[in-house]
Structure 1
Amino acid sequence: MGTFKIEGGHQLKGSIQPQGAKNEALQILCAVLLTPELVTINNIPDIVDVNKLISLLRKLGVKIEKLKHGTYTFQADNLNLDYLESDEFKIDGRGLRGSIMIVGPLLARFGKGYIPKPGGDKIGRRRLDTHFEGLINLGAKFRYSKEEQFYGVEADKLIGTYMLLEEASVTGTANIVMAAVLAEGKTTIYNAACEPYLQQLCKMLNRMGARISGVGSNMLIIDGVETLGGTDHTMLPDMIEIGSWIGLAAMTKSELTITNVSWNDLGVIPNVFRKLGITVERQGDNIFIPAHTNGYEIQSFIDGSILTISDAPWPGFTPDLLSIILVVATQARGSVLVHQKMFESRLFFVDKLIDMGAKIILCDPHRATVIGHDYKSTLKATTMTSPDIRAGVSLLIAALSAKGTSTIQNIEQIDRGYERIDERLRAIGAKIERID
């Protein structure tokens, strides 16, 4: 198990470029299964979860060639579908949450899709019902082995239909869309997720020959086609990493420039950080964060009541950044209520921050009140364990702002979502060392 050793309390300076979007990559890579033609994908992040999915696709028979850092070609013209029922696949598929999104493309193109219960972060229940209910609506037959925790869907032919999703699941919507593009007739998906990552997937599929309208809204209309062709696709920068660097700059009183952020795809993220009192300046397609040497003050609502920051489906605030918001608030002037609606275990990492001296009241599994220190009392170094990707990087930000030397164990969780994070942080002045 790897460990980060972090000497905190240093100001950082310079520029940092966000990696390609992890959550987009997991969808886009599964979409290559929809065509036998060549697909070129650019700006793929070199992170554990994405590399696991690339490995799984290779074992499935996809021809994969790395052209340069972040750019690969994929061709799924001769797949080994027997792999899907092998013991090896039952192990590989459990290794990451994103593996669930191979089911829709395989079902659409080959009439069957299988997956073991996928893994991922231990942040609470993450249901698969939306995925399979959508595929069943398209005409698939569902089967499940409780002993092996192995799911399967099969269909001779998928037929377009109208469906109202119970939840606006991003991965669930992606799976259903990838199945519906090759279904017979028209499919209407209401209460569809409309995150930029899902928009990117739809735009890519349309370039491949799909007929999807309503992209960017919560109602997608898909006219099925018989086949899809190849394409070239470039991924967006990772908005979660961009938010992480905004929080890092504020906590360490650092002057940072975050480059090539695709401002138009950030939604409310800059404004949520501004509500914490952080200066977020737009410079072209870059974000400039000045050194907050005098701290930052949390706004109140118009009636004077305490600010509440909560997650919501897009265009609301992404749940993946609430851990960052919580950490950043520990050194603000004022108080904020953080309300994590989606996952009931995601706030449990706050006990580590309390050990470091943060003033946090965990109201219940979904809500925490943070009373900021205004830098009058810095966080104290400690030894921590990363419970999941986003909590892990939040603890890393806390350690970089703390006085003394901290250690963070189980950093494999951080590596799942952040590319070479220690190297990139050292380039802007962070004192961080990886110990294997």
Structure 2
Amino acid sequence: MADLIVNGGKPLSGTITPSGNKNSVLPILCATLLTDEPVTLHNVPNITDVEKLLAFFAAQGSQLTWDRDSCTLTVSHRNFDTEQLAGELPAGMRSSVLLFAPILQRMGRLRLPSNAKGCSLGIRELDPHLEILEKLGAKLSQSGDAHTLKLDGRFRAARHWPDYMSVTATENFAMAAVLAEGESVLINAASEPHVQDLCQVLVSMGAQISGLGTSQLVITGVERLRGGTFTINSDHHEVVTFLALGAITGGEVRVRHSVPQHFDLIGRAFGKLGVAIEHEADTALVRARQPLHIAAPFTTNLLPRIEAAPWPYFPVDLLPCMIALAVRAEGTMQFWNKVYEGGFGWMHELAKFGAHIAVSDPHRVIVFGARPLHPTIVDAPYIIRAAVALYMVAASIPGSSVVKNADTIRRAHPNFVGNLRSLGAEVEWGT
């Protein structure tokens, strides 16, 4: 595990080009298993989860050509050997659940991995995935402690209304239904930008999908999908991260390819903390020396708050960046994570800097901002944006701090330290 060594207190200013969206590239890579034709992807981020997935493909005989300098990857599964797989999926990668539908399409059989049930954010149940796949014709069996999914022939169309919006379950539904017999409908579908990205790629491969960006997907199955060339969209999480870093350090940061169509609610969340985000074409920017001040709501007997939930709510993954800003802002704000019960388990690390935070329950915290802070050593949880938020606070405090075990950031930011240094940060990876 690597640590971030931080010499903070310096405004970060400059221009950043974000990497491709981690949450888009992983399901899109899994969807390449649905065709034997070559698929070429541009703007592929060089991150650990991509490495693991490609190593899995290579072990089964897939042909891969990855030019890391140009971020271009070509995948061909024509020689994918199902006999080598034996039902095993990549270990240590939560997103391996995204392989469920494609592997069943290709093999007709899959042994469920025991390592796909949770992460540092809390329990992530497999039930929504199993309900969808069984509804579409797969059969679940158990022998001792082993659970196996089997599919006889093609998936069969179905209508399904899950308990809640799950991103990965929606993506599994889409990858199963595009080659199923008949018309499938998913009500209460997730609609995050990365779900839309996957569906748009599937449509370009020949799938028939309507309802993109809404909570209802209608998919008419086709006989086969083709290959093609596609570009991974920018990661809006990374765009927000660097804008927030500019705001918390008092610098001026511009982020190219900022997908401004996703920023209406995100921009308003920044505004609640006194930060104005501007857009010049597809570049987002935060101006220097903006005073961080929490805006009081018109209904004065309520705390100002930011609520995070499935899209089109404010994204849960970005809540830590807003919490870091609130630690520095004048005023008091409540944050409400409506998804993960473990999303606030790192608040005691912020307190080491001197931050004042009251944990109301597993889903809500209250931040009392603008308290005196000091540099210190903190331990990052295995949560990407929580590690980033700890760095944000450290970067805003003059003096030397250490964010230990911060290399989880590399799961989403392939060049985090390099980008920070280009903005004038004094930071390096330590051991």
Please give the TM-score of this superposition, normalised by the length of structure 1: 0.94
Query: SS of 1:268's equivalent?
Result: helix
2:424 is matched with which residue: 425, 429, 435? 429
Residue type at the aligned position of 1:81? T
Tell me how far apart the structure 2 counterparts of residues 267 and 80 of structure 1 sit (CA, whole Å): 46
Query: In 2, distance between residues paired with 1:146 and 1:272?
Result: 49
Q: After superposition, where does 1:294-373 map in structure 2 within 5 Å?
A: 295-304=291-300, 305-373=302-370
**Partner in structure 1 of residue 10 of structure 2:** 10
SS at match of 1:95: coil
Q: Is the 8 A contact 2:357 2:368 kept in 1?
A: yes
Deviation at 1:146, TM superposition (A): 6.5
2:185 matched to 1:184? no
Q: 1:58 & 1:5 partners in 2: Cα distance?
A: 36
Equivalent residues of 2:37, 2:76 under 8 A apart? yes
Query: Contact 1:6–1:406 at 8 Å: present in 2 too?
Result: yes
Give the CA deviation at 1:217: 1.1
Instruction: Tell me the TM-score normalised to structure 2 length.
Output: 0.95
Deviations 1:309-352 (A, max 9, x none): 11121111111011111111001111110011111111111101
CA distance in 1, matches of 2:119, 2:70: 27
Answering whether residue 279 of structure 2 is matched by residue 282 of structure 1, we say yes
Q: Give the Cα–Cα distance (whole angstroms) in 2 for the partners of residues 4 and 43 of structure 1.
A: 26
- Post-superposition shift, 1:283? 1.2
Q: How many Å separate the matches in 2 of 1:147 and 1:9?
A: 53
2:50 & 2:343 partners in 1: Cα distance?
22
For 1:315 and 1:370, how far apart are their aligned partners in 2?
24
Counterpart residue identity of residue 142, structure 1: L
Q: Tell me the secondary structure at the aligned position of residue 316 of structure 1.
A: coil
The answer to whether the 8 A contact 1:12-1:255 is kept is yes
Q: CA deviation at 1:112?
A: 2.5
> Which of 410, 413, 416 matches 2:411?
416
Partner of 1:49: 49
Q: Any gaps of 5 or more consecutive residues in structure 1?
A: none
Farther off after superposition, 246-255 or 132-141 = 246-255
Mapping 1:12-411, distance limit 5 Å: 12-67=12-67, 68-85=69-86, 89=88, 93-119=90-116, 121-144=119-142, 147=145, 151-293=148-290, 295-304=291-300, 305-373=302-370, 377-411=372-406
Deviation at 1:144, TM superposition (A): 4.7
Asked if the contact 2:359–2:366 (Cα under 8 Å) also holds between the matched residues in 1, the reply is yes
Measured against aligned partners, the alpha-carbon deviations of 1:75-129 in whole angstroms (never above 9, x if no partner) come to 111212133326xx45xx2221111111111222432334413457411111111
Q: Which whole-Å CA distance do the structure 2 matches of 1:236 and 1:151 have between them? A: 35
The total of aligned residue pairs comes to 428
Tell me the CA shift for residue 389 of structure 1: 1.2
For residue 267 of structure 1, report the CA deviation from its aligned partner: 4.7
Alpha-carbon distance in structure 1 between the residues aligned to 2:197 and 2:240: 20
Partner Cα distance (2:93, 2:352) in 1: 31
Cα distance, 1:380–1:411 mapped onto 2, change above 3 Å? closer
> What is the CA–CA distance in structure 2 between the aligned matches of 1:145 and 1:369, rounded to whole Å?
47
- Partner of 2:328, secondary structure, is coil
Residues 64 and 185 of structure 1: CA distance in aligned 2, closer, same or farther (over 3 Å): same
The whole-number CA distance in structure 2 between the counterparts of 1:301 and 1:145 is 57
Q: Distance in 2 between the 1:247 and 1:379 partners? A: 20
8 Å CA contact retained: 2:346, 2:380: no
- The alpha carbon displacement at 1:308 in A equals 1.5
**Separation in structure 2 between the aligned mates of residue 35 and residue 176 of structure 1, nearest angstrom:** 17
Q: Deviations over 1:224-265 (max 9, x none)?
A: 111110111111111111111122111111111111111113
Is 34-43 or 110-119 further displaced after alignment?
A: 110-119
Q: Which runs of 5+ in 2 are unaligned?
A: none
Aligned-residue identity in percent: 34
Distance in 1 between the 2:29 and 2:252 partners? 35
In structure 2, do the counterparts of structure 1 residues 406 and 83 end up closer, same or farther at CA, with 3 Å as the change threshold? farther
| Residues 28 and 435 of structure 1, relative CA distance in 2, 3 Å threshold | same
Separation in 2, partners of 1:56, 1:312: 32
SS in 2 for 1:377: coil
Q: Distance in 2 between matches of 1:174 and 1:218?
A: 13
